[in-house]
Amino acid sequence: MIETLYGQIFELDAAASAAVIECAGVGYRVTVTSRTLSKLPSPAFAPDGSKLASPFVRIYTYMAVREDAVELYGFSDRDELSMYRLLLTVSGVGPKAALSILSLLPPNRLALAVASGDTKGISRAPGVGAKTAASVALELKDKIPKQFPQFLAASADDGEIAPRPPKSEGPDASAEAREALAALGYSRSEIAAAMKHVDPAAGVDGIIRAALAVLLKN
């Protein structure tokens, strides 16, 4: 696995949000977040064009291996890489969708969006719909406080995170969960089928999370 790249910028492709980093004579193409791209220096060459003159940079990387391709994704710091890996644990979120989310919302803002249940904000990322945004908010709301407490602590001090309402249980929880799933665009028949596989005593969040896991498989 390639964990980091340390070298000089050979080429920047703003349209594709990618960079080519030359390390010991080998150029690695890395797709990066918009935040990382904005921090990278422009390529620079010696007057005769024989060698690079741009400053050295370090990029933290994630290597995605598929049957038909091997792709590198790059990040400016460890927090961004760690949040990217966490996004990949969400049902329905692949390497490109995770990068799109982080390009719109850097780690601290994504942590706040998840904590406040701002699925609309997350869904603004290109290629990320309401259903995927809901999965991100539901599946990461308990993980982010454990892995990134510093972001939520800072936001709470600023009064940015609204207090969460108490979780409902029982029949009311099932009804609330059905309404939430319907708001995400699922039909009554899809919701009814998914609800057969969930525990009605799990509370609203637990029911929605379990139902989404079923729905996203179909």
> C-alpha distances in angstroms, 109 versus 34, 82, 167, 214?
14, 14, 24, 28
CATH (residue range 1-76)? 2.40.50.140
Side chain identity at 95, as an amino acid letter?
P
Domain ranges of the chain: 1-76, 78-164, 171-215
96 within 8 A of 73, measured Cβ to Cβ: no
CATH number belonging to the domain at 171-215, selected among 1.10.8, 1.20.1280, 1.20.1070, 3.90.1600: 1.10.8
Instruction: Note the pLDDT of residue 160.
Output: 45
Task: Give per-residue pLDDT as tens, 86-138.
Answer: 999 998 999 999 999 999 999 999 998 898 888 989 999 999 989 999 999 99
Give the separation between CA 102 and CA 33, rounded to whole angstroms: 6
Q: What does the radius of gyration of the chain's CA atoms come to, in whole angstroms?
A: 21
> 7: which residues sit within 8 A by CB, 6+ positions away?
21, 22, 23, 24, 28, 56, 57
pLDDT at 55: 93
Q: What is the pTM of this model?
A: 0.72
User: Thinking of the domain 78-164, which architecture would CATH place it in?
Assistant: Orthogonal Bundle (1.10)
At 174 the pLDDT is 84
Residue pLDDT, tens place only, 56-93: 999 999 999 888 889 999 999 999 999 999 999 998 99
Tell me how far apart the alpha carbons of residues 111 and 100 are, in angstroms, rounded to a whole number: 15
Q: What is the mean pLDDT of residues 9-38?
A: 94
Which residues are within 8 A (CB) of 107 and not within 5 positions of it... i.e. 6 or more apart? 79, 80, 82, 83, 148, 151
